[in-house]
Structure 1
């Protein structure tokens, strides 16, 4: 930041610089004293910035603006803190003339959080403030009318007020829209009536981000979180029963009191729920958070540069955190993408825990140099085949080849297969199969037919490996439409 401000001043010394945001709100005097610039907004900026513009237009006195630090010669003055604003004074920034179709919109219906998690800036604010409920509905309807694909609520804990939460969920569930809504929630606070609404909502309408952070009760106490994993797990699984809400669960590595083995246990606990996504985050010691003031107590060493990520602590070493970084990449690519689900099931049975599998896979990635170069989507499948060959001595090679083939065809072009996968059906067999299916099912012009050397449908249902030939057709226009036609094909010899 110093470099940027210095360059600005060199280009034109008359340009004035105004700072704002959480990065400068907790050591405001020291920051402005040590950086080039004239003004700094401390805390919430909407009203302060508006009044600052009015001052620049000659409509207000500088010394009357609360929440503003400013330089007068060699002296820095402060006009005093500004009270937290009424959320309903916020101005909705969009109009129907704005070109925001196909954009992701971040929306704020509340500020603050009832919890006091030490690593979070929301913990230093008191209370939670909400927008008027009818206003929220009106603004969300605007986004739906504009066909926004995704609205991400930035509320720290969306479901901290039951009546407010329930009313919005009901409203959004009843709309005729393709807009998806993302909420950060505390799963342990979910009530049965809220879960019932979620279970009955249109598929894809909602996605939930659940902060687990750790499943170690002692570590949770160290950061002022008082939940049990069993309670959270029950709520997440109850939401999952509806099979229509995407759930994203977060973990944080480097929390005070959590060592490498404890984090391994936390990961395995979360993996056992089988959420749609698992995020491995790393502790950030943000300015203003109580976690930063306790860094010495926990032996935490963190980067002096934003976002102030942990480097080590008395509980976890720098090299252990590096290992977790590599595991994070494997989880994000292979688990969170959803493109390798059945292949992962094949491998997970061969390791003591899911964490051990992702660790071994990360070691293989590093050995082959894949962390240092880009690899294409096909190579990600090939890596898993090679991993089985070199780490597991090729055990179950032919079965794995069929499982990889299935997952590959679900998400990639159907007419071509990579060399390491085998297409066992020649053009004559395909012609005969197509003719048989045409008689039973009609025109299959836009369908791809694939032969498998195992009963692939049985494997997908129960992970059972049965060495019977099977046939599937893949809809080339709808990737979710995959039909097992083995029975039809087998009714007469091909």
Structure 2
């Protein structure tokens, strides 16, 4: 197809363009897609720090677009056209993308589209994905970013803008950037056209290391007036930067040690964030509890706001090093969980193997880890996630199964299992040849094989790891009950049960149930394994062992139904049923019932509460007691739903069912409507 002459002219001139030229004014667009938040601390820090310089404050206009990472193809299309219209409207001179392993594929797609339509626009990539061998990969293969920024970017970004405005400092003197230079002139960079063509006189060039800020308190706080914070937003927050540890699979410890924000500033920032009633806060500190007293004080700020009702429960995620939690910090964490059931604490175990621990520079002592775990209350344990990684140098199948069994013995809320990714700039990237690691060069950089796992073994352990995470999360109580009967069932433990299930079901049926795309329910994994597990338990485990005791089978059946319902609520949510125009005060309101009901012969809620923190659960401890359970959900962030269950009376269940069938019957709910609204069973129609 012929291309219009005007377009050909534009493309041809830009393909040979170099440098940027002094600009009287700059129009800069900044884009961030974060998995955990719809705001961006990284972009806010760049802007607030750059604006300290008068020339930038007076001559540069910043417009940011922050959103959740697209979770489906439909979301991607919508975001892509939004960005294109955004650029058409604002005609940015420069667009900067914050790049991470979870968003880079979409960022590349968006950047290429920008280049195809506006080839003269300078595209800059920064963020944790832009490190190590991935930077030359971007220029060699992707050809849509004109400059890549490695490491921390506040100083680098400021200096680049000054170069674009007035040519000072020279581009070659700006630390921490890479670009295609004009041969013989490192101060002129190639601007890619929409075709990704590179003239013969362009050469890859890296400048000296970036200048890092000694005192991060020099960055003006985006949370204290510099940025308009959204009400009900999802926020990323860091009280410190860097990590004291240098784990080989990670890049947190690659920067300039650990630098902390002053506690007075942290307190003021958190007060202001909480005053905006957040839907979610994720602490991004490399090791949040590196200083235990400081960590306890930070969490006490949240506790104080929750205790006196200044803020309602919100989704909260913290990653901590378990072994350095002391009694005082554990006490504050426990009160936080009691006040806010939407809190999740994440602990990285990664591997219980000594060889793997040594190679990833992460010392592990089982007795120390278990002692620290036992310092936590049962309620706190039931809000905790333990992470483990398969495919680590030093670990084969047997070692990973031992890690899984150790995790199971602690009885956390969830066990997460991830295949190792070789992050750009990490120690394992530099050691790939030594450990015979073969991995994806494109994101998400997952390992195919190592010296300890060949390709077939990696395929099996991938299936095993998926089953571990999915079945423990959705059917952990059923599994704990089965394992108390392991001798009768011929099982060797948790990993043995999952191995038996994997071998029985086969790889295709298990991996075929993986969620499609990068959707929010991916955080929960899929629930398609429920049907497979039920068939495995009934038709294989119990049948082969000759265990047909009705007392056991009936209890397992109802417990399984309960877990399936909880899983369905977590992934799919609950359909709403309109309620008559009632409110707690008797006035009009647009309300809906948001609940799923289950009737059981057994008191399952009491059984689950009694089993908190336990790895051995006797199914016969489940009392016979006619029970009605109401399932509802708390809205988390980015569409992730938190399932909640309550034991209710038979009369209440009857009223809810009647109101669903006949809205006029909903009048019977009026006397207790305020309580139902508070616990989430009744809500404003259409609300999240």
TM-score (norm 1): 0.79
| Structure 1 position 474 matched with structure 2 position 626 | no
Shift of 1:108: 1.8
Confirm whether residue 391 of structure 1 aligns to residue 520 of structure 2.
no
> d(CA) in 2 for partners of 1:32 and 1:386?
48
Name the residue aligned to 1:490: none
List runs of 5+ in structure 2 lacking aligned partners: 1-104, 183-201, 516-524, 567-594, 611-616, 633-643, 652-688
Instruction: Quote the residue 2:319 is aligned against.
Output: 184
Q: Distance in 1 between matches of 2:210 and 2:533?
A: 56
Report if the CA contact (8 A) 1:222-1:257 is conserved. yes
2:212 pairs with 1:84: yes
Does structure 2 conserve the Cα–Cα contact (< 8 Å) formed by 1:32 and 1:39? no
Does the Cα contact within 8 Å between 2:317 and 2:344 map onto a contact in 1? yes
Cα 1:192/1:78, change in 2 over 3 Å: same
Unaligned runs of 5+ in 1: 414-445, 486-494
CA change 1:450–1:59 in 2 (3 A) is same
Using a 3 Å threshold, how does the CA distance of structure 1 residues 41 and 476 change in structure 2: closer, same or farther? closer
Mapped contact 2:248–2:360 kept (Cα < 8 A): yes
Tell me what 1:133 maps to: 263
Q: Which of 270-279 and 114-123 deviates more?
A: 114-123
Q: Classify 1:467/1:12 alpha carbon distance in 2 versus 1 (closer, same or farther; 3 Å).
A: closer
What secondary structure sits across from 1:355 in the alignment?
helix
Deviations 1:164-188 (A, max 9, x none): 2122122222222313432211111
1:99 aligns with 2:207: no
CA gap of 1:450–1:325, structure 2 versus 1, over 3 A, is same
Q: Which residue of structure 2 lines up, in the alignment, with residue 405 of structure 1?
A: 558
State yes or no: 1:465 paired with 2:594.
no
Offset of residue 473 of structure 1: 3.4
Query: CA separation in 2, counterparts of 1:282 and 1:389?
Result: 31
2:285 paired with 1:148 = no
Q: Give the deviation of 1:24 after TM superposition.
A: 3.4
CA contact (8 A) 1:206 1:246 kept: yes
Partner of 2:247, secondary structure, is coil
Task: Please give the alpha-carbon distance, in whole angstroms, between the structure 1 residues aligned to 2:151 and 2:281.
Answer: 25
Q: Is the 8 A contact 1:43 1:67 kept in 2?
A: yes
Q: CA RMSD in A?
A: 3.6
Structure 1 residue 277, shift from structure 2 partner: 1.0
Shift of the alpha carbon at 1:386? 1.3
Within 5 Å, which residues of 2 pair with 1:8-407?
Answer: 8-27=114-133, 30-31=136-137, 34=140, 36=143, 37-58=145-166, 60-63=168-171, 65-73=174-182, 74-75=202-203, 78-85=206-213, 86-93=215-222, 98-101=229-232, 103-176=233-306, 177=311, 178-203=313-338, 204=341, 206-243=343-380, 246-337=383-474, 340-348=475-483, 349=486, 350=489, 351-366=491-506, 369=509, 371-372=511-512, 381-392=530-541, 394=543, 395-396=546-547, 398=550, 399-407=552-560
Superposed CA offset, 1:377-414 (max 9, x none): 9965443331123322535454334333245247749x
Q: Which has the higher contact order (CA 8 A, sep 6+)?
A: 2
Distance 1:27 1:310 in 2: 16
SS at match of 1:264: helix
Q: State the distance in 1 between where 2:528 and 2:119 align.
A: 53
Asked if 2 retains the 8 angstrom alpha-carbon contact of 1:341 and 1:407, the reply is no
Does the aligned pair in 2 maintain the 1:29–1:76 contact within 8 Å?
no
Shift of 1:247: 1.0
Q: TM-score, normalised by structure 2?
A: 0.58
Distance 1:61 1:335, change over 3 A: same
Distance in 2 (CA, whole Å) between partners of 1:169 and 1:213 is 25
Separation (CA, whole Å) in 2 of partners of 1:121 and 1:154: 13
Instruction: Determine the C-alpha separation between the residues in 2 that align with 1:345 and 1:227.
Output: 26
Moved over 6 A (4+): 1-6, 374-379, 446-449, 454-459
Distance 1:465 1:484 in 2: 24
**Are the equivalent residues in 1 in contact too, given 2:270–2:301 (CA < 8 A)?**
no
The 2-side partners of 1:455 and 1:171 are apart by: 37
Change (3 A) 1:222 1:482: farther
* Separation in 2, partners of 1:148, 1:458: 32
- Deviation digits for residues 216-273 of structure 1 (CA, Å, limit 9, x no counterpart): 2232112212231211111122113454761111111122221111111111011100
1: distance between equivalents of 2:230 and 2:303? 26
Q: Give 1:145 shift.
A: 1.9
Structure 1 residues 218, 16: CA separation in 2 closer, same or farther (over 3 Å shift)? same
Task: Quickly say closer, same or farther: Cα 1:329–1:467, change in 2 above 3 A.
Answer: closer
* Superposed displacement of residue 315, structure 1: 1.2
Match of 2:581 in 1: none
Moved more, 59-68 or 350-359: 59-68
Report the Cα distance in structure 2 between the residues aligned to 1:261 and 1:384, rounded to whole angstroms. Answer: 23
- Answer with 469-478 or 171-180: which moved more: 469-478
Distance in 2, Cα, partners of 1:133 & 1:383: 51
Structure 2 contact 319–347 (Cα < 8 Å) conserved: yes
Cα–Cα, structure 1 residues 374 and 9, in superposed 2: closer, same or farther, change >3 Å?
Answer: closer
Distance 2:130 2:499 in 1: 38
Answer yes or no: is the 8 Å Cα contact 1:250–1:278 preserved in 2: yes
Paired residues of 2:440 and 2:447 also in contact (CA < 8 A): yes
Does the CA-based 8 Å contact 2:147-2:179 persist in structure 1?
Answer: yes
Three-state SS of the structure 2 residue aligned to 1:48 is helix
